[in-house]
Structure 1
Amino acid sequence: MKQSDDEKKEKRKYFISVAGEKCEITKEIYEVFYRMDRRERYLEERDFKKGVIIFSDMKRNYCSAEGIIPDKNTDIETEVINKVLMETVLEAISILNEEEKWLIQELFFFEKSQRQLSKETGLPLMTISNRKKRVLEKLRKYLKIEK
């Protein structure tokens, strides 16, 4: 006698990783956990698109506070050049699709290695490497940068 899809779903076990160990949990807790996880990632992606930097996350995710707080000794010309460069980079990133933006964010803003990203996502290392090359080439062409 074959099991229906509903019966299979009922017997499915749900796990989350806690401190590096897999823990079995109920379906309800699993759904809430991943809904909250996805919401957090969505908010981080939205903040990234808008250029929002959370002060408490500066060192871990983006850069040091010194890089954000303006130096009173810097001349206005340098500030304008830096602002134009930042706007140019953000504009270039805006041409990317969501998957490409995510990849750039993980590799360059969150400073994850390709190997680490491979482990987290389950994608082969070469897939991540090839996608990175394609995205960087796309940005290079958009910014008209020669190799």
Structure 2
Amino acid sequence: MADKEKYMIKVQGNLIEVSEDVYYAYFRMDRQERWQEEKKQGHDVVSYDALDNSETVGAEAIQDMNSPGMEELVIANELKERLHNIVAALPKPERELIQAIYFEDIPVSDYAKRVGLSHRGINKQRKRILSKLKMLLDIMGSF
């Protein structure tokens, strides 16, 4: 009777007998890990950890392209401040309409019911006020 072939893998320096399935799965996984490392080296892939030094963490050294930069944040805040100042200077009925629709997210139809006007009438006012706001923002200048 032929001897059954033994499958051995090294775990923490010790040889351990395993089934044929475990043996082949282990070496497939091992080969896949080595292939990934070879691929990284071939494409000059560097981990964020390689960029760490005593002053910075490597992951913080890479700019996040999805987040706005400081300049964009400053410009957005400046525009927001200008817009709020212009809205505050509008006559009360116009200011209330803009605040309700754009700052409180009240639908035009609900606002129209609240003030006793038609949906179409509120839309006309809204468009007129938005044109006025755009003109005032243009007058105030751009960056």
The TM-score bracket by the shorter chain reads: 0.3 to 0.5
TM-score with structure 2 length normalisation? 0.45
- Structure 1-normalised TM-score? 0.44
